[in-house]
Amino acid sequence: MKEETLGETLIESRLYAALTKGGLPGWIPVVATLALRFQGLEEVMEPDDAPPLHQLARLAREAVSFTPAWRERLLFHRLARLPLFHWRAANSSGKWDPLHESLLEFMARGETALWQEETPSPPPGTVEHWLRHQLRKDIK
């Protein structure tokens, strides 16, 4: 197993443990989905930028430090505003939407351009709506 893979596995286990310990186990499938959707982005990010999995783990640790009443509010607000949503990708099949498919799936369809923008896409309100939908789906 590569050193990078071992590190990612450790980060994932800490991320999921933080969510479970913080009384937020219902968020694990949602955060796991986001981690998969942005996987591969770390290959083009600047060395100083935190990779997607690190950003999600940091947010989970931060959320569980709040009182239970504020944890979910913080997750909705901060997940929807992650710097990851400032990344764009496009290829001959169109533009990438991280709420509908992973970056790796999108890139498999052809040569892909990746870049960052000043504004997030999709907008935070759309991401929050998606998060709520994902949580309802996982509860059933």
CA distance 19 to 43: 26
The type of residue at 32 is A
Which pLDDT score, from 0 to 100, does residue 14 have? 82
What value does the mean pLDDT of the chain take? 88
Average pLDDT over residues 117-124: 97
Do the beta carbons of residue 130 and residue 33 sit within 8 Å?
no
Encoding tokens for residue 125? 């309100």
CA distance 1 to 6: 7
CA angle 104, 58, 6 (to 5 degrees): 60
> Where are the chain's structural domains?
3-139
Nearest to 76 by CA among 57, 63, 87, 86: 63
pTM of the model: 0.86
